Amino acid sequence: MHDTGPPQSPIAIGYRAPCDPDVVETVYEAAGGADGLLRLAGAWHGRVTSDEVVSHAFSHGFHPEHTQRLAAYWAEALGGPMTFSAEWGDETSVVRMHSGNGPHDEMDRRAIACFDQALADVGLADDERLRQVLHDYFAWATTTTMCRYHRSADDVPAGLAIPHWSWAGLDSAP
């Protein structure tokens, strides 16, 4: 048997407890990266398309890669790779897709409730700090950027950047 030196701490060998305050990680990383957000997007999509109010937003169909695109959008907003912007568009394209539908406060509230349930569905509600920051991000995006232009999608300005969200909240807004 050979000597491997002094025992290493769990952090030194690559272990990180979820949301460990001594390890700076992005919300994206804490949520499980691309795979974690894809699971969350799938769970949320399943819930909203089954909700009697929110499903109206999907009643005219949706892109077959909606879940993958949504996960990539969230990833970019939460500190992950810029895949959404590189492959599918900027914030302007996303906001235009959600604009021109008039106010829909009840739909927004229910979409947020579906998000909170989806967090639990995929195990992201177990860590209170992570659950809260993800809830805050989704509620903010749903009630601000995604519903800012009730009258017409033509009102959305060109060149908006995807807002970035961190543990402290909004880092940058369009």
Q: Which two tokens stand for residue 132?
A: 């809260």
Cα angle at 130 between 24 and 20, to 5 degrees? Answer: 35
Task: State the residue range of the domain holding 109.
Answer: 27-172
**Mean pLDDT score across all residues of the chain:** 81
In this structure, is residue 91 part of a structural domain?
yes
169: β partners: 166
In this structure, is residue 67 part of a structural domain?
yes
In this structure, is residue 141 part of a structural domain?
yes
> For position 137, what pLDDT does the model report?
94
Q: Of all helices (H) and strands (E), which one includes residue 77? A: helix 66-77
CATH for 162: 1.10.490.10
In this structure, is residue 20 part of a structural domain?
no
Average pLDDT over residues 99-124: 86
In this structure, is residue 5 part of a structural domain?
no
Count of the separate structural domains present in the chain: 1
Average pLDDT over residues 112-137: 97
